[in-house]
């Protein structure tokens, strides 16, 4: 046998392959990337489950399926003064007393308003008490009703005339009277 093809007793071809191997530290990047990917996956799953449960909880409040939005319940009517005349452009706050959810809107120029209780952040439930508070610079008032039946309810809101506070009326009137009483005195001084 010839020793030409052998180096240290190993065939030359095998020795050359082992010489090409470079010894280095193991690459930790794939492990870090795997851990990060796993953390992102777990976060997505938890968020998805939380959203899914929130949909079921909201649907449970309305007795509807999780995939269907809450059924509409429309409150509609007019805003009137004490004499029964419509009042337009009234700032309205619709409040669900049970959840304290509040939505704001403005009645139209004729005093008509329409609001779907399904648009409240927590929706609504049968039996909820809904209060509508109306305000303008001259009128203020509120009215309450219970959610009964389905579909909606005609519900007018009567507003009373706002009576200003004593101090806000007396002081301007008093100041005006003082000024008016001084006018003749001032005129006389300038005529001389």
pLDDT in tens, 121-157: 988 989 999 999 999 988 999 899 999 988 899 999 9
The number of angstroms, rounded, from the C-alpha of 158 to the middle of its chain's C-alpha atoms is: 28
Q: What tens digit of pLDDT does each residue of 63-109 get?
A: 444 445 678 999 999 999 989 999 999 999 999 999 999 999 999 99
Tokens found for residue 23: 């010894």
* Tokens (6 digits) for 53: 């449960």
Tell if the pTM clears 0.85, that is, is over it. no
Q: Where are the domains of the chain?
A: 28-68, 73-161, 165-192
The rounded distance, in Å, linking the Cα atoms of 178 and 39 is 77
d(C-alpha 60, C-alpha 56), whole Å = 6
Q: Which CATH superfamily is domain 73-161 in?
A: Carboxypeptidase-like, regulatory domain (2.60.40.1120)
* Terminal Cα distance for the chain, rounded: 148
């Amino acid at each position: 046998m010839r020793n030409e093809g052998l180096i240290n007793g190993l065939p030359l071809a095998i020795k050359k392959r082992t010489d090409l191997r470079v010894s280095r530290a193991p690459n930790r990047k794939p492990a870090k990337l795997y851990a990060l990917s796993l953390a992102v996956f777990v976060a997505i799953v938890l968020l998805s489950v939380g959203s899914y449960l929130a949909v079921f909880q909201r649907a449970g409040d309305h007795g509807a399926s999780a995939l269907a939005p809450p059924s509409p319940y429309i409150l509609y009517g007019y805003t009137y003064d004490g004499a029964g005349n419509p009042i337009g452009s009234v700032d309205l706050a619709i409040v669900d007393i049970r959840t304290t959810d509040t939505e704001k809107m403005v009645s139209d120029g004729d005093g008509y308003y329409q609001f779907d209780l399904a648009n409240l952040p927590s929706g609504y439930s049968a039996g909820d008490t809904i209060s509508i508070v109306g305000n303008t610079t001259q009128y203020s008032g509120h009215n309450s009703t219970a959610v009964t039946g389905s579909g909606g309810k005609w519900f007018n809101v009567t507003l009373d005339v706002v009576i200003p506070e004593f101090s806000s009326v007396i002081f301007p009137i008093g100041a005006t009277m003082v000024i008016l009483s001084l006018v003749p005195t001032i005129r006389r001084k300038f005529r001389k």
